Chain A
Amino acid sequence: MSIAKKIVTWSRIKSPWVLHFNTGACNACDIEIVAALTPRFDLERFGVQLKGTPRHADVLLCSGPVTRQIKDRLKRIYEQMPEPKFVVAVGTCACSGGVFDGCYNVESGIDAVIPVSAYIPGCPASPKAIIDGIVKLLASIEEKEHGREAR
C-alpha cells in the first residue's frame, strides 16, 4: 500500500466521521445515538466525530423506517457522500421496518433504498450496541483494506 493510501486508511479507521440521519423514526434510536456522544459512553474517544454535512462523512448512521416523504432525501444524501462510504442501520426499524413494517407511508428498512454495511438491531439500539456496531464496522474496514492490499 502506498504511504498516502496507508494514511488515508488509517485515518478512516481511526477517526470515522459520521453523519446522523433520521428517516422517520420515533426518536428513541436518535436519542441513544446522541447519548452515545455524552460523557457516559463518549463515542468521541474512538475518534468518531459527528459532522453536519454528507460531504464530510465516512459513515451514515441511519435510524427509522424510511417514510415516503423522506425516501428521496435519503437517496440524495447517500449520493452526496464521497466514496468509500458505509451505511449503518441503527435500530430494528432501520434494519427491517420494525413495528412499522406494513404501514402505509413506510418502506421496510433502509436497505430497500440504499445499501447497508452494518445492522445494529434493538428497539432502541442501546449506546453500547451502537459502539459495538461501529467498532465491528471499523474492524471489517481494516480487514477489507488489508485484504485488498494482499491481493
Chain B
Amino acid sequence: MRKVVIPIGPQHPALKEPECFSVTLSGERIMAFSARLGYNHRGIEKACEERTYVQDVYLTERICGICSHAHSTCFVQAVEEIAGLAVPERAQYIRTIIAELERIHSHLLWLGIAGHEVGFDTLLMYTWRDREVVMDVLAALTGNRVNYGINTIGGVRRNISPDQAKDILKAVDTLEERTKYYMKVATEERTLIERLAGVGTLSHEDAVNLGAVGPTARASGIDRDTRRDDPYAAYGKLSFKVITDNHNDVYGRTLVRCGELMESYNIIRQAIREMPDGPLAVKAPRRIPAGEAFSRYEAPRGEDVHYVKANGTEKPERVKVRAPTLANLQTVEKMLEDGQLADLPIVIAAIDPCFSCTDRSIVVREARKRSRNILKWEDLRSYSVEWYRNNRGLDFSKLNRKMAGRLL
C-alpha cells in the first residue's frame, strides 16, 4: 500500500486545538477511526495539588474557556461539601443565572460552528452576532466576557442589582426572538436538514454503552440531565423541561441544543423572579478539613464531574476532573462507522468538542491502496462542502447570500 504523508498544518479560524485523528477509508466510506488526544494536556490536576483552594478556583476556571463557570462551580461545590458550608440561597441563584447564560453563549457558539462546518457561513455570522448580546450581559454582571471569576468558596463574589436584572431580561427577550428564527431555519431549510439528517448516527444502545453525555446523549433518546437528576445550585427549586430527541443524528443534536436554548431563557426568567435577598457568601476556612466529595454539573456539553479529596491543609490532596468531551469522544468512532468522509467535520463538531472546530490533522488511509494522507481540517471541510455540492446538489452559497441580504 502506497503511503503519502502531508505535514500537519496551521489552524483554522474557528476554535483550534491540536488533535490528531486517523481515518481509514474504502473509497468514500469510513472503515475505521481513531483519535490521538492529549495535545492539550497541561497537567492541571497536578497543578491543583500544588496550589491552595482559592488559587484552584481560578485555575479550574481555565480548564476550558467556553465552560469556565462549569468547571469552577463544580470544583467549588465539592470543596463546600467537604467543608460543610451552607451556601446562601441568593448565591445559588446567581450561580444558576450565570450558568444558564453560559449555556446560552455556548449553544449559540455551537450553532455558528455547525453552520461553518457545513458551509453555511451566514449562520456563523448571525449566531455569533447574537452571542455578543449575551457576552455584553456577562461582562456587565461579572466584569469579563469569559472566565467570569464569580465563584468563591462559600458563595459568589458579586451581586446582581435590579437594573442588571432588567438588562438580563431584555437580553433574554431579544435572544428568544432570534432563537425562534434559528429553529425555523433548522426545521424548514431543506439544504441544512439534508446536511444534518442521517449523519453521525448513534443508536440509543450505543450511546448508553459508550457513556455519552449531554446533548449528544439526549439526541439519542437518553433522558438524562444532571440538573434534574442530581440537582445542584438552585435547580432543585426551578422547573424546566429536559429536551430529548429520537433522531439519533446530528440533526437531533441541533434540535436538542435549540430546545435547550429556549429552556435556558425560561430558567433565567424564573431565577430572576424567585431569587431571594440575602448574603452572597459564607466565610470559608483556609484549611479544608479532611474528606472527599464528588460533584456533578451539567455543562453545556454534558455532565462535568469533579472529585476532590482534602487532607486538612490549605492545598487539596487530589483533584480529578472528567470533562464531558472525554466521555463523548468515545462515541465519535461509532458515529463515523460506515459514514462518508464528507460528513466527518460536522460529525466531530456535533459532539461540540471542547476543542471544537479545531484544525486538527486528519490521517486518512485508503484501505485498498497503500496510501496515507494527512489532511488539514480546513481541507476536509472544503472537501465536504464540495462533495455535497457535486453529489447531492446542496449548495449553501445561495442561502448564504439570501440570508445576508436580509436586514441584520
Q: Are A and B close enough to touch in the complex, i.e. CB under 8 Å?
A: yes
| A22 in contact with B62 given A27-B355, A32-B145 (CB within 8 Å) | no
Task: Verify A105–B41 contact, CB threshold 8 A.
Answer: yes
B18 touches A69 (CB 8 A): yes
When the two chains form the complex, which single residue of B11, B109, B132 contacts A21, counting CB atoms closer than 8 Å?
A: B11
Shortest distance from the beta carbon of B41 to any chain A beta carbon, whole Å: 6
Flag B28-44 by CB within 8 Å of A: 1 or 0 each: 00000000001111111
Q: Looking at the complex, which of B63-71, B213-221, B290-298 is the stretch in contact with chain A? A: B63-71
Interface string of A3-33 (1 = CB under 8 A from B): 0000000000000000111111111111111
Q: How far is the CA of A65 from the CA of B43 in the complex (A)?
A: 12
Task: Give complex CA distance A38, B109 in Å.
Answer: 11
Q: Is the CB of B46 within 8 A of A104?
A: yes
Interface size grouping (class) on chain B: 35 or more
B8 contacts chain A at the CB level, 8 A cutoff: yes
Is B9 in contact with chain A by the CB < 8 A criterion?
Answer: yes
Question: Which of B122-130, B177-185, B338-346 lies at the interface with chain A?
Answer: B122-130
Do A50 and B65 form a contact, CB below 8 Å, given A24-B39, A124-B147? Answer: no
| C-alpha gap A19/B12 in the complex (Å) | 8
Partner of A126, one of B7, B17, B131, B145: B145
Query: Could you tell me if B12 and A52 are in contact, using CB atoms closer than 8 angstroms?
Result: yes
8 A Cβ contacts from B90-134 to A: 109, 124-125, 128-129, 131-132
Contacting residues, chain B, for A96 (C-beta < 8 A)? none
For residue B54, CB closer than 8 A to chain A, the reply is no
A27-B17 contact given A53-B9, A57-B10, CB 8 Å threshold: yes
Whole-angstrom distance between the alpha carbons of A51 and B379 in the complex? Answer: 12
**24 A-B residue pairs with CB within 8 Å:** A22-B16, A24-B18, A25-B17, A27-B15, A28-B146, A31-B66, A34-B14, A35-B128, A35-B131, A40-B129, A50-B13, A51-B10, A52-B379, A54-B10, A69-B38, A69-B41, A73-B8, A77-B10, A99-B62, A100-B43, A102-B50, A103-B42, A105-B43, A123-B62
A binding-site residues for B, Cβ under 8 Å: 19-35, 37-40, 50-54, 57, 65, 67, 69-70, 73, 76-77, 98-100, 102-106, 123-124, 126
